């Protein structure tokens, strides 16, 4: 991996959008980028070959909490790390498990030392600390790993948000110390990202951003958004935070979001996104296309033999009809989930590629204004 981790190639003149290249041990990633979510080390219902060749994914996300529980660190270490275990040869980012701990609700307890929680599989008590989360991610072997944080719920009062942010900062210092005191296990470098918190409170977000930028990480994540707050709050906080972030570091907005969310946040200066929406919604029959959103279960698609998306050149987009996909989803055939998931991910990766193209051409703002109503409409 070259010394320069992130290079900005072009900046948009009328928004904060930028095009860059992020360099990792397992390849280069053109930004802005969407990362398909592979919770268990696999993107649900999608082969690695399809991810690489049909979807053209450049990086996928794996989940620390889930991989720790299954298959477990011993298996991952015996395999030689996540890339050899799942046969994905390109970059992988692993989240810290903080969001999963947050989502466990009453089954977890946050302390100064870390988070105590019960496994959703067998109820076994587990203790995550900033230190052992770094150790776990060393064993997983992702290219980009995340510091352990407390994901603040929405809504929450100012006092809780402030205490939570300060705890995340103390945990970050411990994560950083452990990261610097340990080495990668698989003979390639790993990059540690911190996570900005502060809920929807602007002064807390600014404080968290300044605290984190002073520590000089090679990339920075924004967490605690897309957890139920109004979209306007998400955009306001993202806009404020990116004003305070260094230009030469990649910015990762965690867990976001809809196609419109992604384009709006690219305009606010975000480089990296992940979300379960394209695959989760696919399995329930919501199909994202270049012409709008389809509920494939609706009767209107029963006799529609046109391609799923005539404007995308992916195999499933061109070679399966809306009628056939509807039949598979209604019949609960596994192939339906596969086709729908590939279509949605193809669309998401097409969307960020189009964004890159228009940023380079200087037409991003106008293109975004025109495309958002189209891709957001229900057909």
Q: Catalogue the active-site residues.
A: 95, 274
Strands 6-11 and 18-24 turn out to be antiparallel
Residue with the two structure tokens 């402030």? 162
Ramachandran assignment for 311, one of left (phi > 0), alpha (psi -120 to 50 degrees), beta (any other): alpha
Distances from the Cα of 202 to the Cα of 110, 207, 234, 265, 300, angstroms: 24, 9, 11, 17, 45
Distances from the Cα of 283 to the Cα of 44, 45, 175, 192, 212, angstroms: 9, 9, 36, 33, 38
Report the alpha-carbon distance of residue 216 to residue 193 in Å, rounded: 10
The full DSSP string for 153-194 is -SS--HHHHHHHHHHHHHHHHHHHHHHHHS--SSSS--EEE-
Q: Which ranges constitute the DSSP H helices of the chain?
A: 48-49, 64-69, 73-79, 82-86, 98-103, 130-140, 158-181, 202-214, 231-244, 259-267, 277-283, 315-319, 322-330, 334-361, 364-376
Report the alpha-carbon distance of residue 367 to residue 255 in Å, rounded: 24
Q: Are 41 and 17 in contact (CB under 8 A)?
A: no
Q: Are 224 and 257 in contact (CB under 8 A)?
A: no
Report the alpha-carbon distance of residue 71 to residue 306 in Å, rounded: 42
Reading the block at residue 72, the tokens are 């477990």
Strand partners, 144: 93, 191
């Amino acid at each position: 991996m070259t010394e320069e981790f992130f290079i900005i190639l072009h900046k948009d003149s009328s928004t904060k959008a930028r095009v860059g290249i992020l360099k990792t041990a397992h390849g280069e990633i053109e930004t802005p980028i969407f990362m398909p979510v592979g919770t268990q080390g696999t993107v649900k219902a999608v082969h690695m070959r399809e991810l690489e060749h049909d979807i053209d994914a450049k990086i996928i996300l794996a989940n620390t909490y889930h991989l720790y529980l299954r298959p477990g660190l011993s298996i991952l270490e015996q395999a030689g790390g996540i890339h050899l275990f799942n046969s994905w040869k390109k970059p992988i980012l692993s989240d810290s498990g903080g969001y999963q701990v947050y989502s466990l609700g009453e089954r977890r307890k946050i302390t100064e030392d870390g988070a105590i929680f019960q496994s959703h599989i067998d109820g076994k008590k587990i203790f995550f600390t900033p230190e052992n989360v770094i150790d776990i991610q060393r064993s997983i072997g992702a290219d980009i790993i995340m510091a352990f944080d407390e994901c603040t719920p929405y809504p929450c009062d100012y006092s809780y948000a402030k205490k939570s942010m300060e705890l995340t900062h103390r945990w970050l210092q411990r994560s950083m110390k452990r990261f610097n005191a340990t080495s990668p296990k698989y003979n390639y470098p790993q990059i540690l990202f911190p996570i900005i918190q502060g809920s929807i409170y602007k002064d807390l977000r600014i404080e968290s951003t300044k605290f984190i930028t002073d520590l000089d990480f090679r990339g920075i994540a924004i967490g605690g958004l897309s957890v139920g707050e109004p979209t306007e709050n998400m955009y306001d906080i993202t806009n404020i935070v990116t004003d305070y972030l260094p230009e030469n570091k990649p910015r990762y907005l965690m867990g976001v979001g809809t196609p419109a969310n992604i384009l709006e946040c690219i305009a606010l200066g975000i480089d990296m996104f992940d979300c379960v929406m394209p695959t989760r919604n696919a399995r329930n029959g919501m199909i994202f296309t270049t012409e709008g959103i389809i509920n494939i279960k609706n009767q209107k698609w029963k006799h529609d033999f046109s391609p799923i998306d005539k404007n995308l050149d992916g195999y499933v987009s061109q070679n399966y009809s809306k009628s056939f996909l509807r039949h598979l989803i209604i019949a609960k055939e596994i192939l339906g989930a596969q086709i729908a998931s590939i279509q949605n991910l193809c669309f998401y990766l097409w969307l960020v590629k189009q964004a890159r193209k228009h940023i380079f051409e200087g037409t991003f703002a106008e293109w975004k204004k025109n495309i958002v109503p189209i891709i957001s409409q229900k057909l």
